[in-house]
């Protein structure tokens, strides 16, 4: 069977830096941190981290109430990013509803606020009758996928990837595989996430959050830096249109890049600790599937969240495969860790870097930790022709994902 080629023809972003691709990229170019002190979280007993990167919920009432009532915050973000991606790609309503266009949107879970609200409403009197009929649809794990599909009239394959921080990159990888196999012509895919104190709190309990910079929020997170002390949660959505190459050519679509390779593997070693051996395996398999040698990669967009162990293991894994020959940066310093949305949002940024020939640096990387040395850290904007990109996502549960894109279409 001859596998089909897959390209990216549309992008959309809602991020802590703004509700469009343009505002997101402008924030990266100007070195803007979106992290702030969350005063409203301080009444939570036991919380130590009060920093986060919130996005703005904006123009949500443009979504008809019939659709919006089953959407939590994260589904609204996904719907808005999806509309952007569809408009950017130029695909028609007829193509969307043809049955040949699918949707896969990943997230860590359903709407955190809606889940929290449901228990707060129900539990005092254990009264289920107090719950609204639409609340379940906001809470369920596949809420973003089905809400976007209903809103846009998608009738093709509908799936959801729920793999913590690897969710959206897995969504892209699954869509890539299904188009290669000829199951669909197009996919809306990516990820979405929303902030809530219980989300940051779950990382806080694991001692994975940044706690030293509550009074100086824009100095954290600090990927690869010797003074890093943990991650900062963010929110938003990144959605892409993936398309079979010949289908895109026939309609003269703009092509951002071709997906050349993808891999996802489990570490099988520890629930929360990163493991460089499994990272090496994942990146190596992505390169192998793309038929690309390490020296042919022009830029690595690292997962690096600012945790001591995670950054160290990823840096060591990159060093073993690439040495110090390939530029590396992380975008978490600008927008925090958007969890299930991070892979897609950061991949979109990487596509724009390819288009513009620039690498955006790791924000807040002032002094490279010796444990993260031996790789080509980017600490200031670098002009460079970028034809190939490797994007990493490494999640709790030992779930690793790596994806290779190339700009030059052969």
Q: What is the pLDDT of residue 128?
A: 85
Predicted confidence (pLDDT) per residue in 208-222, tens digit: 999 999 999 999 999
Q: Which of 142, 303, 372, 405 is catalytic?
A: 303
**pLDDT lower than 50: segments of the chain:** none
Q: Which of 139, 165, 189, 282 is catalytic?
A: 165
Q: Which of 196, 247, 337, 377 is catalytic?
A: 337
Q: What's the per-residue H, E or C state across the chain?
A: CCCCCEEEEEEEEEECCECCHHHHHHHHHCCCCCCEECHHHCCCCCCCCCEEECCCCCCHHHCCHHHHCCCCHHHHHHHHHHHHHHHHHCCCHHHHCCCCEEEEEECCCCCHHHHHHHHHHHCCCCCHHHCCCCHHHHHCCCHHHHHHHHHHCCCCCEECCCCHHHHHHHHHHHHHHHHHCCCCCEEEEEEEECCCHHHHHHHHHCCCECCCCCCCHHHCCCCCECCCCCECEECEEEEEEEEEHHHHHHCCCCCCEEEEEEEEEECCCCCCCCCHHHHHHHHHHHHHHHCCCHHHCCEEECCCCCCHHHHHHHHHHHHHHHCCCCEEECCHHHHCECHHHHHHHHHHHHHHHHHHCEECCCCCCCCECHHHCCCEECCCCEECCCCEEEEEEEECCCEEEEEEEECCCC
Provide the whole-model pTM.
Answer: 0.97
Active site residue 337: yes
Active site residue 303: yes
> What is the homologous superfamily of the domain 260-406 according to CATH?
Thiolase/Chalcone synthase (3.40.47.10)
Same fold? 6-250, 260-406: yes
Report domain extents, the chain.
Answer: 6-250, 260-406
Q: What is the pLDDT of residue 238?
A: 98
Domain 6-250 has CATH 3.40.50.11540: no
Predicted confidence (pLDDT) per residue in 169-215, tens digit: 999 999 999 999 999 999 999 999 999 999 999 999 999 999 999 99
Active site residue 103: no
């Amino acid at each position: 069977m001859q596998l089909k080629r897959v390209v990216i023809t549309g992008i959309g972003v809602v991020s802590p830096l703004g509700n469009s691709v343009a505002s997101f990229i402008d924030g990266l170019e100007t070195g803007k941190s979106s992290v702030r002190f969350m005063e409203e979280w301080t009444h939570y007993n036991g919380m130590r981290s009060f920093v986060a990167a919130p996005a703005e919920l904006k123009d949500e009432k443009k979504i008809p109430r019939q659709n919006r009532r089953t959407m939590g915050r994260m589904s609204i973000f996904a719907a808005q990013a999806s509309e952007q991606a569809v408009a950017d790609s130029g695909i028609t309503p007829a193509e969307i509803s043809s049955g040949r266009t699918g949707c896969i949107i990943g997230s860590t879970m359903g709407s955190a606020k809606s889940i929290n609200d449901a228990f707060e409403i129900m539990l005092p009197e254990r009264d289920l009758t107090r719950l609204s009929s639409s609340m379940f649809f906001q809470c369920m794990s596949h809420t973003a996928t089905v809400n976007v599909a209903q809103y846009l009239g998608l009738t093709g394959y509908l799936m959801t990837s729920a793999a913590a921080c690897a969710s959206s990159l897995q969504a892209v990888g699954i869509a890539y595989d299904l188009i290669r196999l000829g199951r669909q012509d197009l996919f809306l895919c990516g990820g979405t996430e929303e902030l809530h104190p219980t989300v940051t709190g779950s990382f806080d309990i694991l001692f994975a959050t940044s706690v030293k910079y509550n009074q100086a929020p824009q100095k954290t997170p600090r990927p690869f830096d010797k003074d890093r002390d943990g991650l900062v949660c963010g929110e938003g959505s990144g959605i892409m249109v993936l398309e079979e190459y010949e289908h895109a050519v026939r309609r003269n679509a703009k092509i951002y890049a071709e997906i050349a390779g993808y891999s996802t593997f489990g570490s099988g070693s520890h629930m929360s600790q990163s493991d460089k051996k499994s990272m090496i395996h994942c990146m190596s398999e992505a390169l192998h599937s793309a038929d690309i040698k390490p020296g042919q990669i022009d830029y690595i967009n690292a997962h690096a969240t600012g945790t001591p162990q995670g950054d160290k293991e990823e840096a060591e894994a990159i060093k073993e495969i690439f040495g110090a020959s390939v530029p590396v940066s992380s975008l978490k310093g600008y927008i925090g860790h958007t969890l299930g949305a991070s892979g897609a949002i950061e991949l979109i940024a990487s596509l724009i870097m390819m288009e513009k020939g620039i690498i955006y640096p790791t924000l807040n990387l002032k002094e490279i930790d010796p444990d993260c040395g031996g790789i080509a850290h980017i600490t200031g904007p670098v002009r460079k022709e970028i034809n190939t990109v490797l994007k990493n996502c490494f999640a709790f549960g030992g779930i690793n994902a790596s994806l290779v894109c190339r700009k030059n279409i052969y």
